[in-house]
Amino acid sequence: MPGGTIRCGGCGLVQLDEGTCRRCGRALVAAPLPRRPRPRPVSGPSPLRDIWLSPRSTIRRLVAEAPTRGLLILPWLAGLGGFLVSMAPMTNDRFPLPFAVAMCVVVGPLIAYTVVFVSGFLTTWTGRMLGGQGQHHELRLALAWSQVPLLPSLVLWLPAADPGAPEALLAAVVNLALLLWSEALAVVLIAEVHAITLVRSCVAVLLAWVLKLALVVAAVVYFASMLPGKTPA
């Protein structure tokens, strides 16, 4: 059905699409609309598997081919599992397990998102101070994927719910090992994204932790100063 305007490929006349050019009589054929390229899937083995033993090549592939993959879901799951591990031993008659789980579903991911995004901003800055070249979105991706070792906590919180059980101690040890692995993985991924040495990456991470601690202390002091003071009797 005719409609819109079209340019004649012969004489260049722009007119309503009427099938033929009014000036030269040439048949008018509308050019097909360009197709948007689909995002390429990450090639090779699964990143969830490779990030454990080949973190450098995996994060390079993710940054190049899928810079947003896992950016939201990985911190969500890791935050949920980590909060479940922390809260499960505190459950009792006054703080029932279903209520604790519901609270973890909301609070845990929010904390994880905040840590990833704030840490991404801070490690971008501290890494560049030490000669790094990474961009903010690349550091966020690296920190999101450094949460992968924490995903088993989605299951390990179950034995932690009974602190007196023998399995609870084993689960606590495994969770600690996974947490240390996650921190070490973050250092490796930040070093790769920033193109700096592991030593400089460690310094960048430590500086970022100091800045985060300073922000927390400043927030506590600020909100404490907002509380009403004691009134004389």
| Tens-digit pLDDT profile for residues 36-88 | 555 455 545 588 999 998 999 999 999 998 888 999 899 999 988 888 888 87
Query: Which band of pLDDT confidence, cut at 50, 70 and 90, is reported for residue 93?
Result: low
Confirm whether 231 is domain-assigned. Answer: no
Confirm whether 211 is domain-assigned. Answer: yes
H helices, E strands: number in the chain: 8, 2
The neighbouring-strand residues paired with 27 are 20
Confirm whether 229 is domain-assigned. Answer: no
| In the predicted structure, residue 11 carries a pLDDT above the cut 70 | no
Mean pLDDT in the chain?
Answer: 82
End-to-end CA, the chain: 87
Confirm whether 128 is domain-assigned. Answer: yes
Confirm whether 73 is domain-assigned. Answer: yes
Query: Which band of pLDDT confidence, cut at 50, 70 and 90, is reported for residue 13?
Result: low
Confirm whether 16 is domain-assigned. Answer: no
Q: Is 111 helix (H, G, I), strand (E, B) or coil?
A: helix
Confirm whether 37 is domain-assigned. Answer: no
Enclosing domain of residue 216: 47-224
Number of structural domains (the chain) is 1
Whole-model pTM: value is 0.72
Other CB atoms within 10 A of residue 143 CB:
27
| Tens-digit pLDDT profile for residues 94-123 | 777 788 788 888 888 888 888 899 999 999
Least confident of 33-47, 73-87, 124-138, 148-162: 33-47
